[in-house]
């Protein structure tokens, strides 16, 4: 499954999916909306693309994290990223 997913994405898209997966406030639903990858597909992609230790740290970090799952999020969270994240310096 992971190889087909990786082949379908450009290098830039692959990099962006990994970045979005690491971001605390970006839910899996946003990744699915932008790239068509479900949560299990993102997990498979991360398993394939990251070193084992990095993948384990990521899985530990996102498992059960309310901000990564829209259904668990507070209704007060109205955006997928920190307001300071994309400001130009």
Nearest 5°: the CA angle 59, 56, 5 is 70
pLDDT for position 13: 93
Nearest 5°: the CA angle 9, 77, 29 is 25
pTM, 2 dp:
0.72
SS3 78: coil
pLDDT tens-digit profile of 9-41? Answer: 899 999 999 999 998 888 888 899 899 999 999
pLDDT for position 75: 60
Distance, CA of 80 to CA of 64 (rounded, Å): 17
pLDDT tens-digit profile of 39-63? Answer: 999 999 999 999 999 999 999 988 8
The answer to whether the beta carbons of residues 25 and 82 sit under 8 Å apart is yes
């Amino acid at each position: 499954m992971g190889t087909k997913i990786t082949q379908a994405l450009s290098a830039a898209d692959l990099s962006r999916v990994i970045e979005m997966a690491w971001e605390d406030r970006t839910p899996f639903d946003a990744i699915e909306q932008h790239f068509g990858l479900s949560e299990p597909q993102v997990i498979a992609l991360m398993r394939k693309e990251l070193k084992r230790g990095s993948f384990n740290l990521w899985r530990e970090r996102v498992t059960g994290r309310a901000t990564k799952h829209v259904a668990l999020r507070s209704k007060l969270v109205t955006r997928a990223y920190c307001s300071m994240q994309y400001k130009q310096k």
